[in-house]
Amino acid sequence: MTVTRPLLDQFARRISYLRLSVTDRCDLRCAYCMPERMTFLPKADVLSLEELHRMALGFIDRGITKIRLTGGEPLVRRDMIELARALGRKLGDGLEELTLTTNGTQLITHAEALAEAGMRRINISLDTLDRAGFAKLARRDMLPQVLEGIDAALAAGLKVKLNTVALKGINEEEIPSLIAWAHGKGLDLTLIEVMPLGEVEEDRIDHYLPLSAVRDRLDAEFTLTPSDHRTGGPARYFDVAETGGRLGLITPLTSNFCEGCNRIRVTATGQLYPCLGGGEMVDLRGALRSVDPEVAMSEALDTAMRIKPERHHFEIDRRGAAPALPRHMSMTGG
């Protein structure tokens, strides 16, 4: 396959990674992510399966080699597996990896189909192993389904990495045992600082836990050695001697990692956000539905490269502060 013109932003960063949201809907209501009474997009506004596929092919033609399907919760969209199968046919023909981020609730039904579509690894969000704590945080009592989903993914031959948001006063005491549990099952785990995206009922400063503080606690319990492991994402990895596993740290607030950014995000409505933490946006839905979609799409991608900022500017430093951006993570794509 020939790349027509690689995606290169104004800071000479090669963009090769697309996080493609297929829906903003979710079957959980995690307190740090969205309000209980979340208003979701009208289904009529969401791109069709055909549009998502055509758009993804346009990205591959411009040098995107990795696509991560996201949401919301991508597996609540009924035709998501059809999209995965269609994109899986591009593996080895411009696309090097197709993967998924999920909360795990639907995996017991879909894990085998994802593996058959060509996925080899997926990320699963899991913030606690305490059932009551999970039900309170996610506002849904679905921890058993998530754990069954993890086992189903492993049984299907998928490599699983867990993503855990570090939350002060909620799961901070559980983090060491969660790491040990994950590594005992052969799973990598990555800790993430909570991000100030979208209005939620609680003040995020009450739950913001800098990973610098978590690292101090972990260093007292484990021997962490910097790892050369890289996935193309923002995590810095460490090998944990006592468990034999790998730990990742994603620090959007305490240690900015944007200098190596290689990704862009597209919402389920076709809005391209060059930066998770920026308001810059390009309308790909309009391009797809134009008279000459191929040319319009290419021009839109060129615009996105020109407006992609150097870095985000997240802060959680005072009570009552507005979020960095009004849109929720479930809208942009996690």
136 is in an annotated binding site: no
* Angle in degrees, CA 220, 224, 228, rounded to 5: 165
Question: For 24, how many CA atoms within 13 A lie in the half-sphere containing its CB?
Answer: 26
108 is in an annotated binding site: no
Cis check for the bond before 279: say yes or no (omega within 30 of 0). no
Count CB atoms within 10 A of the CB of residue 174. Answer: 17
260 is in an annotated binding site: no
273 is in an annotated binding site: no
161 is in an annotated binding site: yes
Closest-CA residue to 329 (of 16, 64, 98, 35): 35
3-state SS, residue 163: strand
| Residue 88: both structure tokens together | 């899986």
Cα gap 18→85, rounded to integer Å: 17
195 is in an annotated binding site: yes
Cα gap 40→287, rounded to integer Å: 23
Cα gap 333→115, rounded to integer Å: 22
| Residue 94: both structure tokens together | 């411009």
150 is in an annotated binding site: no
30 is in an annotated binding site: yes
Cα gap 323→306, rounded to integer Å: 25
CA distances from 227 to 224, 236, 241 (A): 9, 8, 12
275 is in an annotated binding site: yes
125 is in an annotated binding site: yes
33 is in an annotated binding site: yes
Residues at the binding site for S-adenosyl-L-methionine are: 32, 72, 125, 195
Residues at the binding site for GTP are: 19, 68, 101, 161, 263-265
Residues at the binding site are: 19, 26, 30, 32-33, 68, 72, 101, 125, 161, 195, 258, 261, 263-265, 275
Residues at the binding site for [4Fe-4S] cluster are: 26, 30, 33, 258, 261, 275
